[in-house]
């Protein structure tokens, strides 16, 4: 889990710094306690772990990785931020697909079903 978190955060944050942050205007209001990169990282990691929902996943992170995410927000704020970042996550995923198969491919199939727990 440590390697997964670290790897995804580094890839997400590098992409964010290159593609998003330089084109984003400063937003009014209080600076967010948790970075967009951290929110996106947790959203992507959540895709890999078999938790029934965000609440349980964030509880797991809070209980086991609080030192990694000291400013972890509550579930409702996490969900709001994640919805705002949905377009960025889609751009990130598309950039990964382009890196994996190239822009010339017309179709690309990726099965992300990890199965279900019983």
Q: Where are the domains of the chain?
A: 2-101
What's the CA gap between 50 and 115, in Å, rounded? Answer: 8
Quickly list H helices, 1-118: 2-15, 36-48, 54-64, 75-84, 86-101
pLDDT digit string, tens, across residues 95-117: 887 777 766 666 656 555 544 44
pLDDT score, position 86:
86
Specify the pTM.
0.76
Contact criterion met (CB below 8 Å) for 108 and 45: no
Residue 83 CA: distances (Å) to CA of 39, 100, 115: 10, 26, 25
User: Terminus-to-terminus CA distance in the chain, angstroms?
Assistant: 22
pLDDT at 42: 95
């Amino acid at each position: 889990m440590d390697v997964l978190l670290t790897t995804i955060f580094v890839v997400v944050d590098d992409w964010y710094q290159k593609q998003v942050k330089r084109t984003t205007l400063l937003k009014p209001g209080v600076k967010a306690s948790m970075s967009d990169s951290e929110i996106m990282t947790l959203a992507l990691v959540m895709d890999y772990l078999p938790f029934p929902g965000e609440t349980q996943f964030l509880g797991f992170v809070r209980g086991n990785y609080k030192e990694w995410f000291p400013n972890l927000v509550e579930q409702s704020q996490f969900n709001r931020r994640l919805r705002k970042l949905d377009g960025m996550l889609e751009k990130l995923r598309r950039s990964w697909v382009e890196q994996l198969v190239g822009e010339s491919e017309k179709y690309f199939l990726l099965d992300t079903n990890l199965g279900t727990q019983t």
